[in-house]
Amino acid sequence: MIVGIVGLGLIGGSLGLELRSQGYRVLGVSRQAATCERAMARGAVDGAAVDYGILASADLVFLCPPIGAIPATLTQLLPHLQPQAILTDVGSVKASIVEAIAPHWPRFIGGHPMAGTADQGIEAAHLGLFRDAPYILTPTATTPPDCVEAVAEVVQSLGSHLYTCSPTEHDQAVAAISHLPVFVSAALIASCDQEPNPKVRELAQQFASSGFRDTSRVGGGNPELGRMMAQYNATALGRSLRAYRDRLDHLITQLEQQNWDHLEAFLTATAAARPAYVAPHPPPSPPTDQPSPTGGSL
Ligand code: NAP
């Protein structure tokens, strides 16, 4: 199988390194010629160019540019694809991407590797990025089953744990555990920083230790990434933020009513719920049937 990769950055370059190590022939396209040369020098691709014609023989193409660049890359890519080629992407949101691509290329299935680092670009690419990380595929009712099977097989060769769900389910789950925490953490920093008494604010800055470091980390990260989450996952993020606001309102009411037993019970319940999110997950069961287009793990 010949695999194409568009966008030779952290994710695209790491995919290339991993797939070549598995024996796939990998061809790449990136915006800058210097990136293509670096990807070849690093062994992430067998060949790379800024011209999409290099992907004319690809059986499967991964779209790996920033989400905002996907429409432009798609326009350039489609005229070169062979009719049976399978297309997938790695974007961190799914519903808007699936809606934008599937009508133009029916042999498309959305995907999202839940793996990354704070660094970007081809220099940050490395082997093993996807190993033991969840990789979600989001087939719809119209996705051809052979496309799901082909991408699932390649994804499993990365050592990832494969899950399938609908694009909307994906976006709501990712909003809850990835996008909401960024904005909650940012609001935490902003509320500390809006302390009207300068002496208290200064003391807070001096007293802040490991707890504040943990809870403020994702809110103090890359603003462009946060904007991308809000812009491309607005509906699901809005839903999660409103649910969070409801919890805050509830806590304020309990506090004002001095309902200490209720607050303790609330914290007891959250302490019991947390391990289900942060404890190491067993890998999903191996496939027993065709991948479900509506949910479940493979
Ligand atoms: P990245 O390191 O910045 O890589 C993106 C690459 O795309 C850049 O190196 C750039 O290559 C290339 N590119 C930009 N515009 C392009 C265009 N118009 N045509 C062709 N190539 C173009 O970003 P990344 O972290 O790999 O993220 C890429 C995708 O993965 C995003 O859709 C993101 O949602 C998804 N994702 C990211 C993470 C994460 O943690 N980083 C995790 C999961 C999924 P040049 O150097 O040639 O300009």
Considering only CA atoms, which residue is closest to atom 4 of ligand 1? 9
Ligand 1 atom nearest to 31, measured from its CA: 47
* pLDDT given at position 291: 40
Q: Is the CB of 121 under 6 A from ligand 1?
A: yes
Residue of 72, 76, 21 lying closest to 45 (CA atoms) = 21
* pLDDT given at position 285: 63
User: Contact 115/162 with Cβ under 8 angstroms?
Assistant: no
* pLDDT given at position 222: 87
Compute, in degrees rounded to 10, the torsion defined by CA atoms 166, 173, 66, 298. -50
Q: Give the pTM.
A: 0.91
* pLDDT given at position 298: 33
Radius of gyration from C-alpha coordinates of the chain:
22
- Using the mean position of ligand 1's atoms as its centre, give its distance from the Cα of residue 289 in Å: 33
- Which of 32, 62, 75, 90 has most ligand 1 atoms within 8 Å of its beta carbon, as the pocket-test mutant? 90
* pLDDT given at position 112: 97
Ligand 1 atom nearest to 14, measured from its CA: 26
* pLDDT given at position 118: 78
Q: Is the CB of 32 under 6 A from ligand 1?
A: yes
* pLDDT given at position 280: 78
- Which of 64, 97, 224 has most ligand 1 atoms within 8 Å of its beta carbon, as the pocket-test mutant? 64
Mean pLDDT of all residues in the chain? 94
pLDDT single digits (tens) 63-91: 999 999 998 999 999 999 999 999 999 99
User: Contact 237/179 with Cβ under 8 angstroms?
Assistant: yes
Query: Which residues in the chain land under pLDDT 70?
Result: 285-298
